[in-house]
Structure 1
Amino acid sequence: MIMGSNFAENHPVGFRYVLRARDKGAKVIHVDPRFTRTSAMATHYVPMRSGTDIAFLGGLINYLIENEKYFKDYVLNYTNASFIVKEEYADTEDLDGIFSGYDPQTGTYDPSSWQYEREEPVKPDREPETLTEKIAFEKLAGKPKRDETLSHPRCVFQIIKKHYSRYTPEMVEKICGTPKEKFLEVAELLAETANPDKTSAFCYAMGWTQHTYGVQCIRAGAILQALLGSLGRPGGGILALRGHANVQGATDNPTLYHMLPGYLAAPSALKNHDTLEDYLKTETTPTGWWANYPKYMISLLKAWFGEAATADNDYGYHYLPKMLGNHSHYRMFEDAYKGIVKGMIVAGQNPAVGGQNARFHRKALANLDWLVVRDPFLIETATFWYEAPEVKNGEVKPEEIKTEVFFLPSAVFAETEGSFTNTSRLIQKKEKAVDPPGDCRSDLWFTYELGKRLKELYKDSTAERDWAIKNLTWDYEPEPDDRFKIHEPSEYKILKEINGYYTQTGEHVQGFAQLQDDGSTACGNWIYSGVMPDPNTNLAANRDGDDYVSLGWGFAWPANRRVLYNRASAKPDGTPWSERKKYVWWDANEEKWTGLDVPDFPAGKAPDSSAQADGIGLDAHSGADPFIMLPDGVIQLFAPLTDGPLPTHYEPPDSPVENLLYPKHPTNPAALYFPDLPENELHGLNNSDYPYVITTYRVTEHHLSGAMTRWLPWLAELMPELFLEMSPELANELGIKNKDYVTIETKRGKIEARALVTRRMRPLKVNGQVIHQVGMPIHWGYAGIVTGSVPNELTAIVADPNVTIHSSKAFTCNIKKGRLKEGVV
């Protein structure tokens, strides 16, 4: 099932595998507001109103449970369905749209009532031998209480059943505008996969994430996959279709504001993170694989600070900056607008047109003291001070903008060494093809050279605050290569640090299982450990495929494992669920796990092994608990997030209708709002001034803000002009013909585009009301070979509370025939 993605057009290389599966008889379901090329290639297309994904997914959950069409053995053994939740918990069904623990003054939840009822903890009767054991022993809690009949009113299964009880096919039709018969067709097709012989996969992208409830959309998909029994099994799972070749690698290593490499938490002044031990006690989970957290954090600090990092100085931990709050993209630009952030290096993005409420982003850029822009082309973020619409029309004068802008031309991916990590966590080495032209330099070269200059600048400093710069390990000098004039920092040295090594000998570690918490190992990213097991082997360079699991092609983190949690591909007793889906199983003769993939389980742990009552790490799990990263070894159907323990249907902040399920709390009560920003007003619900639903998307010919494509003549010619897709019915109502200019307006701004009248957009009947949807690509701006209005001037800055992703897939607008007046922004 493809939902929240136009797979065929936005990920055409990956989509070939979907077509192969379809040709072999697989059903391909596309649920989307637009009929796209993905829809045309699917066996089933299902329309829906943009922004109602959770209502649709919740309806599927309800269908499986009410009709007892879920995979019962899988759900009972491999999920927390039987776990009993505290008596204090109250659901949205009890509280008209909010969960227990909500504070209306702060718009936040206290999740204490969402926890399990637990047995008394059993403390180990021995002294800890390592820091990892010491921390885990102190944090051990009792086992969750269970009801394996799944009948207890507070067991997770019954809570979910109650939570989604009103998400009926009829309600889905009223909320989503999806015809009931089409919804039921999808439900039946998915229900057919809830057995040992079949699996299903969900593929999603920005259509699920870019909402004020984006994380909960993904969780709803995960709950469905768990009920169907597809997680950890071949052909199953949830596939996040990443935006370009290395988004996965960028988050792994990371460019996330709240994470360190390998998804370790960034130190925060808002948590008990004062010392390294405080940090480790706060972040370490005593049961499951994350009990090894201290090994990964201390090895990371050793990789960064080398010999200077010792147990006596907390391995340099206290020199790491601590978060003071939400430092996401939008909060960062809010701080720039307020004068708190003074300078900015922008690399790999184009916020002047790519950021939501783009006009605000330009105001924030204009308030900086200095701005460095690194890009192959002179993009809008570099030229906003003299080319932006508000400058062109005289509203703002260049001399009034105090920002000093430095443009440093960058190389593109083919002009540098490195690797890509894609959707399937597959790390693949890439080679440099040519030198970049002129003064262009790669991001790797720039970052390394900047670090060298900073170290030189601070080398004689006696200030304690400069310790981290002075002691930063930064020896990645280029290795000679006669093929090129511009030599990149050593890929080998960087990858060795990422892989990990023994600090005394320099010998490479073979994998993350060898990392220690005593300073004897260094590792730049524990999940990548094993990619370079010796100086002469880079497994990311392997190119031995076999058209199936292909363990010899590249290196998939962790441990070259292609399917995560693949212990779930076998029954609790270790035998395959079926011969057709045989993948990883217990070999009783060899007394180990084996199969077609690297088993995601302790190799010698038998299926009938019991969990130790006082065990830490994986000793707390039985041999039938496949989900080793999770504290209890099973899927969390019910799991506390910032905005609740279960996905719930809320309307977008701009919506043409009321919330039929929760009229008292129609939008996400925990969403992040930015009321102090200029011209960021929301429309609210059922606002007749803005009656049309608008969604934004991408086209094959352009990339994101267009920074890499609108400067290329061939691509510019293929897709030269901004357009707005609308149905013939709406065009007829508004007197608009194909290719007419139209003006699109929200409270944030006005833009113009050509009308593209097409049956790909269809009116939907939502609770008896006809709702028109329109769609617009996001790729245009005021610079480059082809230019146009900035679509992101229409959008508001309002975000999901878990990860601060914006809401741009469903908002409302008004449309009028005709162009903007000359000079109107």
Structure 2
Amino acid sequence: MSERLVPVVCPYCGVGCRLYIRSVDGYPVGIEYAKDIPNISNELGKLCPKGNAVVEYLLAKDRLKRPLKAKEQGKFVEISWSEAIKEVAERLKAYAKDDPNQLMFFGSARTFNEPNYLVQKLARMLGTNNVDHCARLCHAPTVTGLKAVFGAGAMTNTYKDIEEANVIFIIGHNYAETHPVGFRYVLKAKERGAKVIVADPRFTRTAWFADIFLQHYPGSDIALINGLIHVIIKERLYDEKFVRERCVGFDEVVAAVEKFTPEFVEKVTGVPAELIIEAARTFATAGKGVITWAMGLTQHTHGTENVKLLGTLAAICGYQGKEGAGCSPMRGQNNVQGACDMAALPNVFPGYQAVTDPEKRKFFEEFWGVELSGEVGLTTVEAAYAADKGKVKAYYVMGENPVISEANANHVMHTLEKLEFMVVQDIVPTPTMEYADIVLPAAAMLENEGSLTNTERRVQWSFQAVKPPGEARPDWWILSEVGKAIGFDKTGSGGFVYNDAADVLREINACTPQYRGITPERLKENLAGLHWPCPSEDHPGTRVLYKEKFLTPSGKANLAAVPEYKGPVEMPDEEYPFLLTTHRYVGMYHTATMTMRSCALKKRWPEPLAEIHPDDAVKLGIKSGDWVKVVTRRGAYPIKAKVTRAVKKGVIAVPWHWGANVLTNDALDPVAKIPETKACACNVAKITEEEARKLMEKLPPLIPKIEVVRG
């Protein structure tokens, strides 16, 4: 009997917690806290409920163990790996020969950097930039917004800086519930005397710790942030020296925020004017401040402008380029930052090098040995509409579940039915898999190894702790085999011949400036990881960005002026009188493919509840526990009610893990092209349990029953 204690990175959120998996003969038997690894994200070794239950999803009875080929929807036959790889390669190659833009590739923030690098490399070597991943549905505005203001779209500081801040502004982010281990750094700061300002449409667990709570209406962020900037400028609380020496566009900001008086902002947001003034003064006079946000701020048609305004707010207060300050977007999945860095995006090569830049494109053409497209590709939302029109015909989905994760999910299911060919590479059956022609069984994250980049730009190596079930294989191996079968079978950067994940990372080192010094050897030796940018093998990694200059062409921050207030595209009306917003539960993870296979987590978080204000509940005759039907212009969703003052009057708040995206709006931010899943008009009505059951039957099951038949 062989017993091992293996260091891994938690496969859930973007905090990037370290832990050990205890295994016996390749079988997981438990976990241990990583208290002995210094300077890691979970400094005390503690984990959240998901991290503590991390072994359970590995043992799911319905794990995918062999390649499958569809006979009809929902029915599959087992085939060999050689058959599966051959068919996938031949079909992709045929579509690429006819028109590469008929192909769409979907990377995954739930797997390592190495396969995300390979999936975008495969797409681009086939001739298309149609590649995307879940950042499109969460932090695309963060990437575009921060890049516009500072020159790079990543967290500008680390968790240590949150702990050392004197004020922390948390907006659109239930930090205590979505990233509970990361929230410990907020609590450490508060214990030191730091002030905490929370802005959220719901009174959340995070709001309990706020010194100032700003409860604004969903989608009114532009008015709220401009209101804070207005007060800071009017009272001359901004850092005049920093603005003069390190920023451009200040005069335009002054003009843009002139009309956003506290009184005007109160009318738009519902936040009392005196609280806006107090929050602005508290934030600007602290000396060191951090702003942190998540989906509540980004999932809007004006998400990019929201982020640009937060960058501007931080900059005018001088909260950039020094310790204890900065902008801290919190990633939802554990490798969103890494998948972005690796260019599982339609507009950039690895390291955010634009596909439209002839010089950057020439480098990768020489590096990979093929001619590359300079046309920006489709996002996942755009690809769905292109498939509806017959323009996208084949879809390769790695480790994602768009049937549950995408806005306007009914439309997504409609378009998936129209595809000619679909490959799904995953660890368990998902609703998306029901539309697949070929299913490729992947090893789970703890069953193979590779590098991951957490929300603070910390790159860590996670080791293989247990054996994958059956014939499941690592994502990098699957993509390597597909690439070789297509004909990219050279050794070196121009092919797909790799011995292990470390080989892939060495190739990443060679073409991604921020990762040049983050080699597999260094990561395996240093379990605490390295922060990018790390341009050479003797570089220690960078904790705080922009100490001397920003990464813009001028080296100065481009302050954002947003003179017009923009709310949600859909506002309440007579037919749909409420404003719907979505949120997350601490014990559930995104589309619940992993957490719904954990008995411990399902027991504690068994069902979703729709939050409704008591005044609205009285008018509708609804009590807590009643079944209700939430309806939007896109679909209907049955759910039990929870009557609570945690939401503002006129707002309905629904957790989205159980499939609530049949309701949400897929109207796009014009820059980041993220759908507006955080705000749309809805109606609510009480229904019977029987009516609820009938509505549920029309929704895709979170855990589908996949039938495997004899060939």
Give the TM-score, by structure 2 length: 0.70
Q: Letter of the 2:386 partner, please give it.
A: D
Corresponding residue for 2:386? Answer: 335
Cα distance in 2 for residues equivalent to 1:381 and 1:408:
13
Q: Of the candidates 389, 397, 401, which is equivalent to residue 350 of structure 1?
A: 401
Cα distance in 1 for residues equivalent to 2:250 and 2:637:
48
Q: Of the candidates 637, 650, 653, which is equivalent to residue 751 of structure 1?
A: 637
| Structure 1 residues 54-100: Cα deviation after superposition (integer angstroms, max 9, x where no partner) | 100000111111111111111111111xxxxxxxxxxxxxxxxxxxx
SS at match of 1:566: coil
Q: Of the candidates 557, 570, 584, which is equivalent to residue 635 of structure 1?
A: 557
| Structure 1 residues 481-502: Cα deviation after superposition (integer angstroms, max 9, x where no partner) | xxxxxxxxx2332222222xxx
Q: Of the candidates 175, 179, 186, which is equivalent to residue 11 of structure 1?
A: 179
| Structure 1 residues 504-541: Cα deviation after superposition (integer angstroms, max 9, x where no partner) | xxxxxxxxxxxxxxxxxxx2212111113xxx841464
Corresponding residue for 2:502? Answer: 492
Corresponding residue for 1:563? Answer: 544
Runs of 4+ in 1 over 6 A off after TM superposition: 468-471
Q: Of the candidates 515, 519, 538, which is equivalent to residue 522 of structure 2?
A: 538
Corresponding residue for 1:526? Answer: 513
**Runs of 5+ consecutive residues of structure 1 not aligned to the other structure:** 81-155, 268-272, 274-278, 281-293, 306-315, 385-403, 460-467, 478-489, 500-522, 545-552, 568-625, 639-644, 657-686, 764-771, 781-789
Cα distance in 2 for residues equivalent to 1:12 and 1:822:
34
1:188 maps onto 2:262 in alignment: no
Cα distance in 2 for residues equivalent to 1:259 and 1:694:
34
Q: Of the candidates 368, 391, 394, which is equivalent to residue 304 of structure 1?
A: 368
Cα distance in 1 for residues equivalent to 2:204 and 2:611:
11
Q: Of the candidates 734, 743, 746, which is equivalent to residue 620 of structure 2?
A: 734
Greater RCO between the two (CA within 8 Å, min separation 6)?
2
Q: Letter of the 1:653 partner, please give it.
A: V
Corresponding residue for 1:474? Answer: 496
- Number of paired residues? 521
Contact 2:483-2:495 within 8 A present in 1 as well: no
**Which is greater in Rg?**
1
Corresponding residue for 2:91? Answer: none
Corresponding residue for 1:169? Answer: 262
Deviation at 1:353, TM superposition (A): 2.1
Deviation at 1:748, TM superposition (A): 0.8
Give the TM-score, by structure 1 length: 0.61
Residues 538 and 55 of structure 1, relative CA distance in 2, 3 Å threshold: same
SS at match of 1:37: coil
Deviation at 1:471, TM superposition (A): 8.2
Q: Letter of the 2:426 partner, please give it.
A: D
Corresponding residue for 1:774? Answer: 652
Corresponding residue for 1:409? Answer: 441
| Structure 1 residues 611-668: Cα deviation after superposition (integer angstroms, max 9, x where no partner) | xxxxxxxxxxxxxxx22x2111211114xxxxxx636421211113xxxxxxxxxxxx
Residues 72 and 688 of structure 1, relative CA distance in 2, 3 Å threshold: same
Cα distance in 2 for residues equivalent to 1:300 and 1:762:
51
Corresponding residue for 1:107? Answer: none
Alpha-carbon RMSD across the aligned residues, in angstroms, is 2.1
Contact 1:748-1:795 within 8 A present in 2 as well: yes
Corresponding residue for 1:366? Answer: 417
Contact 1:743-1:753 within 8 A present in 2 as well: yes
Corresponding residue for 1:250? Answer: 339
Cα distance in 1 for residues equivalent to 2:531 and 2:559:
30
Contact 1:216-1:647 within 8 A present in 2 as well: no
Q: Letter of the 2:476 partner, please give it.
A: L
SS at match of 1:538: helix
Contact 1:7-1:15 within 8 A present in 2 as well: yes
Contact 2:365-2:372 within 8 A present in 1 as well: no
Contact 1:427-1:557 within 8 A present in 2 as well: no
Deviation at 1:558, TM superposition (A): 3.8
1:698 maps onto 2:679 in alignment: no
Corresponding residue for 2:52? Answer: none
Q: Which structure 2 residues correspond to residues 244-643 of structure 1 after superposition, within 5 A?
A: 244-267=333-356, 279-280=358-359, 300-305=364-369, 316=370, 319-323=371-375, 327-383=378-434, 405-455=437-487, 472-477=494-499, 490-499=500-509, 523-532=510-519, 537-539=521-523, 541-543=525-527, 553-559=529-535, 560-567=541-548, 626-627=549-550, 629-638=551-560
Q: Of the candidates 631, 637, 650, which is equivalent to residue 566 of structure 2?
A: 650
SS at match of 1:201: strand
Residues 362 and 78 of structure 1, relative CA distance in 2, 3 Å threshold: same
Contact 1:220-1:647 within 8 A present in 2 as well: no
Q: Which structure 2 residues correspond to residues 790-809 of structure 1 after superposition, within 5 A?
A: 790-809=659-678
Contact 1:696-1:809 within 8 A present in 2 as well: yes
Corresponding residue for 2:250? Answer: 157
Contact 2:217-2:648 within 8 A present in 1 as well: no
Corresponding residue for 1:230? Answer: 319
Q: Letter of the 1:637 partner, please give it.
A: L
Choose 157-166 or 10-19, whichever is displaced more.
Answer: 157-166
SS at match of 2:597: coil
SS at match of 1:428: strand
Corresponding residue for 1:518? Answer: none
Cα distance in 1 for residues equivalent to 2:501 and 2:383:
32
Residues 792 and 9 of structure 1, relative CA distance in 2, 3 Å threshold: same
| Structure 1 residues 272-324: Cα deviation after superposition (integer angstroms, max 9, x where no partner) | x7xxxxx23xxxxxxxxxxxxx5xx655444423xxxxxxxxxx4xx11343x
Larger helix share, 1 or 2? 2
Deviation at 1:469, TM superposition (A): 11
Q: Which structure 2 residues correspond to residues 73-152 of structure 1 after superposition, within 5 A?
A: 73-80=241-248
Contact 1:696-1:808 within 8 A present in 2 as well: yes
Contact 2:177-2:586 within 8 A present in 1 as well: yes
Residues 810 and 647 of structure 1, relative CA distance in 2, 3 Å threshold: farther
| Structure 1 residues 136-172: Cα deviation after superposition (integer angstroms, max 9, x where no partner) | xxxxxxxxxxxxxxxxxxxx33322121111000011
Deviation at 1:22, TM superposition (A): 0.8
SS at match of 1:366: helix
Q: Letter of the 2:462 partner, please give it.
A: K
SS at match of 1:655: coil
SS at match of 1:28: strand
Q: Letter of the 1:528 partner, please give it.
A: Y
Contact 1:303-1:497 within 8 A present in 2 as well: no
Contact 1:300-1:525 within 8 A present in 2 as well: no
**Runs of 5+ consecutive residues of structure 2 not aligned to the other structure:** 1-168, 536-540, 699-711
Cα distance in 1 for residues equivalent to 2:533 and 2:181:
21
SS at match of 1:704: coil
Q: Of the candidates 595, 600, 611, which is equivalent to residue 725 of structure 1?
A: 611
